[in-house]
Amino acid sequence: MRPSLKIETWNLLSELGRTKSLTQAAERLDMDLPAASRLVSSLEKELGVEILDRKRKPAQIVTKSLELFSEADRIARQYQRLLKTVDSIKHQDTIKPKRILKVSLPANIDRSAYLNAFSNFERKHSGLRVEVLIDAGEDGLLNGAADVAYFGYRPTKEGITWIPAGHNVTFLMASRSYLRRNGTPQSVQELRNHTLLLRNSSNRSFSRRLENRDAVFEIESDEKVHFEDAYSCRTHLIAGEGISVDLVPSFVADELMRGDIVPVLPGWHRRPWEICVCRRDSDHSPLVSEMADLIVENFKKHTVDSWMFWYRYFSIPLESVVLPAVD
């Protein structure tokens, strides 16, 4: 006959093995002594093994049963871990979020820092789940598909409240392998002889203009200008297939630190573009406002600090970047 698998049984045997006293084991488990005695008696009948010698007062552990206690301790510990695992699974299955907060992020940004911040936000607000959407746009924000949206431009449609987060800016980069094969351009005009990697963008503020203080250079479309999403640009950049124009440095931070990727024409950069975090005018939820503020704070902390770090790291003159005035 199989023994009872009640956790109380194994816990009692485990404590009995430690204390060598039924009275002390019962006290440690906050169990009545008669109930503890009945539990041991029941197990003795099931196992057909004597555990306590009740002829002696107080009852003593039977020596040949000592091995049983170490096994009972192991089973008790495993059973406790099993119960915790089961409880965790049940908790995940039964808890439904009281609210889902939908956040729209651009496809072409490094989302890793934001996802970590969103996880912390969920832990702070019990019962909340943050869902990340990609490029929901102004219409998605207005029709409720998204509650908060990060735009790389200032929205124009009515019904949207926007918070200026700042500006983003990128510098030109290439792999050393590309420059060894194709040479390093010495002037911005020489870019016409090189393969350029630019991001596809539905962003109305997207510009092919490069700037350096008051000087400007317009990138013309031809067979040497490749438009890709940010992650494809990163792949081609690392593979040595062109010069990246508007990839944010955090996408290739490790490669920049190792020196595999280096700046090209320091001082020249894509025209800075404005970042706005938006919500519907009609949505006055404190959670939405808090999330919008979190994204603004996260942008200023990670994105701005990132490109400023790389400009200083490579001694690229920050004064070459002229940010547009914010109305």
β strands within 177-236, DSSP E = 196-199, 209-212, 215-218, 225-228
Can you give the pLDDT at residue 39? 78
In the predicted structure, residue 5 carries a pLDDT above the cut 80: no
Nearest-angstrom CA–CA distance, 309 and 88: 42
**For residue 316, what are the contacts with CB-CB under 8 A and spacing of at least 6?**
171, 263, 266, 267, 310
Q: Does one domain contain both 277 and 265?
A: no
pLDDT tens digit sequence for 29-70 = 788 788 878 877 887 777 777 777 777 777 777 666 666 767
DSSP string, 16-33: HHHHS-HHHHHHHTT--H
Query: Helices marked H in the chain — which ranges?
Result: 7-19, 22-28, 33-47, 66-94, 112-124, 137-142, 176-182, 230-238, 253-258, 286-298, 305-313
Give residue for tokens 């962003």: 203
Q: From the centroid of its chain, how far is CA 45?
A: 55
Q: What is the model's pLDDT at position 94? A: 54
Predicted confidence band of residue 195 (pLDDT cuts 50, 70, 90):
very high
Cis amide bond preceding 58, omega within 30: yes
Residue 321 inside a domain? The answer is no
Q: Are residues 256 and 186 in the same domain?
A: yes
Q: How far lies 51's CA from each of 7, 66, 74, in Å?
A: 18, 8, 17
DSSP per position, 88-147? HHHHHHH---SEEEEEEE-TTS--HHHHHHHHHHHHHSTTEEEEEEE--HHHHHHTTS-S
Of 94, 128, 151, which closes a domain? 94
Q: Would the pLDDT of 1 be above 50?
A: no
CB 324 within 8 A of CB 274: yes
Which phi and psi angles does 101 have, rounded to 5°? Answer: -105, 120
Pick from 75, 94, 113: which residue ends a domain?
94
Asked, for residue 324, whether it belongs to a domain, the answer is no
pLDDT per position as a tens digit, 66-124: 667 677 777 777 777 777 777 666 665 555 667 899 999 987 777 777 888 999 999 99
Same domain, residue pair 137 and 263:
no
- 11 by DSSP, 3-state: which? helix
Residue 198 has pLDDT above 80, yes or no: yes
Q: Give the CB-side neighbour count of residue 255, counting CA atoms within 13 A.
A: 20
* Confidence grade of residue 172 (pLDDT, cut at 50, 70, 90): very high
- 245 with 227, same domain? yes
User: Per-residue pLDDT tens for 264-279?
Assistant: 999 999 888 888 999 9
- Containing structural domain, residue 50: 7-94
Q: Round the average pLDDT of the chain to a whole number and report it.
A: 82
Determine how β-strand 160-168 pairs with β-strand 209-212: unpaired
Contacts for 206 with CB less than 8 Å, ≥ 6 apart: 152, 199, 273
Number of domains the chain is built from = 3
User: Residue 151 sits in a domain of what CATH number?
Assistant: 3.40.190.10
Question: Can you give the CATH number for the domain in which 37 is found?
Answer: 1.10.10.10
**Cα(167)–Cα(111) distance, rounded to whole angstroms?**
17
Q: Which of 57-66, 162-171, 214-223 has the lowest mean pLDDT?
A: 57-66
Domain end call among 41, 68, 94:
94
**181 and 264 part of one domain:** yes
- Whether residues 132 and 70 fall in one domain: no
Same domain, 151 and 185: no
151 three-state secondary structure: strand
User: Any idea which residue has 């950069």 for tokens?
Assistant: 269
State what percent of residues in the chain have pLDDT above 90: 34
Residue bearing the bigger pLDDT, 240 or 126: 240
- Give the global pTM: 0.63
Q: Is 61 exposed, middle or buried (0-12, 13-18, 19+ CB in 10 A)?
A: buried
pLDDT at 38: 82
Give the dihedral sign, CA 244/250/255/258.
positive
pLDDT at 202 over 70: no
